[in-house]
């Protein structure tokens, strides 16, 4: 393998799905080491317990030209209203992923590099800012990218702090054990939200290392947000982990029409959906590009969770999750296996927050229509009709009687006149 190809592979942005992924990298020869670029595709299997990155798409990095407009996923949010009281300051969000490259200017002040950790071979164990894939850098940007002149892209919680944890790569070197260790590290670094944009279809029992780590984090009142996975083209429901663990907020992907993205994995564990198609975010060494997948839906929700944790520091993780689910935009009154309780609505979550709730509930729906007034149907003559008939008869009889009497009186008068005339 040539040095040029190695550099291209290191810069690969993978088109990863779920399970154990074997990416096929198609490198593009770079002009120099600083501008090495590559694209990658992947196919998915599920033969062991390794975790796969739940993102798809193609882009290159660094991107010298910024995305100038406001991405569609942010156009659906009134940011001034969303940030009316908080931008997430003081909330620490752990990104367990492929690392977070803080050389991107929009992430430089967002990342707590000293709190990072690398659980893979290669690089320093204490350095979570090495991201050879770009996946984790995109995830972190959706959560907490700082605003920058010349681009309309910004994170949903642009004052939150990112804890960068490198636990996976384009080879899917991460597994259950490294993810469990990554969660433990997030707990130690005082994370209030943990984002995991990875999944495996391998069933994991309650005694697995990952299940124990998840329970430990939940016991520490940490919100755990995980991607549901991208193996949903067949529409069949199935569980993926860690998203399907009790207490974890599993996030499906929605499209521009607030419907489930075709690739998004459905299942009874799905809690909510968020934009996951053509999602713009930061890439290593600068700039932004767009990508697809539930990997980028999960941090959208993590950003909202960070805002809620800043706004309501006394709310429990369970209450934060319930608030996100209860205020989601729904096409039905309750939940379904495709988008859970609906598509997350950041502004509603932060403004319809008068009191905490412990679980979401179905909408009451419109009130039932009033029953129509039923008119009694009478067979034959009603009493009213009979009285009216009798009254008509009475009037008629009176008229006849008066006519007869008047006629008799006139006849008698005429008779008297004739008699008087003759005499």
Q: Which of 97, 101, 175, 345 is catalytic?
A: 97
Q: Determine the angle formed by the axes of helices 317-326 and 298-311, rounding to 10 degrees.
A: 120
Locate the DSSP E strands across 198-353. Answer: 198-199, 223-227, 249-254, 270-275, 279-282, 288-291
Judge whether 194 and 212 are in contact, CB under 8 Å.
no
**Looking at the DSSP assignment, which residues form a beta bridge with residue 20?**
45
Q: Which of 54, 135, 197, 255 is catalytic?
A: 135
DSSP alpha helix (H) spans, 161-288: 176-188, 209-219
Q: Which of 54, 227, 281, 295 is catalytic?
A: 295
Q: Report residue 355 as tokens.
A: 């009191």
The span from the CA of 238 to the CA of 260, in Å, is 15
Q: In sequence order, which residues have a C-beta less than 8 Å from that of residue 196 and are 6 or more positions away?
A: 96, 97, 179, 224, 225, 226, 227, 242, 243, 298
34: DSSP letter: G
Please name the residue that has the structure tokens 């008119």.
375
Judge whether 242 and 266 are in contact, CB under 8 Å.
no
- 97 a catalytic residue: yes
The span from the CA of 241 to the CA of 250, in Å, is 9
Residue 165 has phi, psi (to 5 degrees) of -125, 115
Q: Report residue 248 as tokens.
A: 């974890």
Per-position DSSP letters for 368-388, written without gaps between them: PPPPPPPPPPPSS--HHHHHH
First to last CA, the chain: 159
Among the listed residues 323, 238, 200, the one whose alpha carbon sits nearest the alpha carbon of residue 272 = 323
- 135 a catalytic residue: yes
Judge whether 264 and 230 are in contact, CB under 8 Å.
yes
- State the burial class of residue 223 (Cβ atoms within 10 Å of its Cβ: 0-12, 13-18, 19+): buried
Q: Determine the angle formed by the axes of helices 176-188 and 209-219, rounding to 10 degrees.
A: 20
Q: Report residue 222 as tokens.
A: 């940490």
List, by residue number, the catalytic residues: 97, 135, 295
């Amino acid at each position: 393998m040539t040095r040029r190809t190695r550099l291209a592979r290191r810069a690969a942005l993978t088109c990863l799905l779920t399970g154990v992924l074997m990416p096929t990298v198609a490198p593009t020869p770079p002009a120099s080491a600083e501008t090495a670029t590559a694209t990658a595709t992947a196919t998915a299997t599920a033969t062991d317990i390794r975790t796969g990155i739940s993102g798809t798409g193609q882009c290159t990095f660094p991107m010298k030209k910024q995305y100038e407009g406001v991405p569609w996923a942010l156009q659906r949010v009134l940011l001034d209203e969303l940030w009316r009281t908080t931008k997430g300051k003081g909330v620490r969000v752990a990104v367990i992923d492929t690392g977070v490259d803080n050389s991107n200017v929009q992430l430089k002040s967002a990342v707590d590099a000293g709190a990072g950790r690398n659980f893979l071979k290669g690089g320093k164990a204490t350095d979570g800012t090495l991201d050879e894939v770009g996946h984790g850098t995109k995830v972190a940007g959706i959560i907490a990218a700082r605003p920058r002149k010349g681009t309309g892209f910004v994170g949903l919680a642009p004052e939150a702090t990112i804890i960068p944890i490198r636990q996976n790569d384009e080879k899917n070197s991460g597994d259950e054990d490294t993810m469990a260790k990554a969660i433990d590290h997030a707990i130690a670094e005082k994370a209030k939200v943990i984002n995991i944009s990875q999944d495996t279809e391998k069933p994991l029992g309650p005694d697995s290392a990952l299940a124990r780590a998840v329970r430990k984090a939940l016991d520490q009142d940490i919100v755990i947000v995980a991607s549901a996975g991208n193996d949903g083209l067949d529409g069949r429901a199935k569980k993926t982990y860690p998203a399907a663990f009790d207490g974890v907020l599993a996030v499906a992907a929605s499209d521009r029409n607030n419907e489930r993205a075709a690739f998004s994995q459905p299942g009874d564990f799905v809690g909510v959906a968020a934009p996951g198609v053509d999602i713009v975010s930061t890439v290593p060494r600068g700039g932004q590009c767009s990508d697809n997948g539930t990997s980028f839906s999960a941090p959208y929700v993590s950003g909202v969770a960070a805002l809620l944790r800043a706004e309501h520091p006394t709310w429990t993780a369970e209450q934060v999750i319930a608030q996100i689910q209860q205020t989601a935009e729904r096409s039905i009154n309750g939940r379904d296996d495709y988008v859970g309780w609906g598509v997350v609505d950041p502004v509603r979550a932060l403004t319809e927050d008068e009191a905490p709730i412990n679980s979401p509930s179905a909408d009451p729906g419109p009130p039932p229509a009033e029953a129509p007034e039923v008119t009694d149907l009478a067979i034959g003559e009603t009493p009213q009709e009979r009285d009216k008939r009798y009254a008509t008869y009475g009037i008629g009889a009176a008229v006849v009687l008066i006519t007869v009497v008047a006629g008799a009186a006139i006849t008698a008068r005429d008779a008297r006149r004739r008699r008087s005339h003759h005499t």
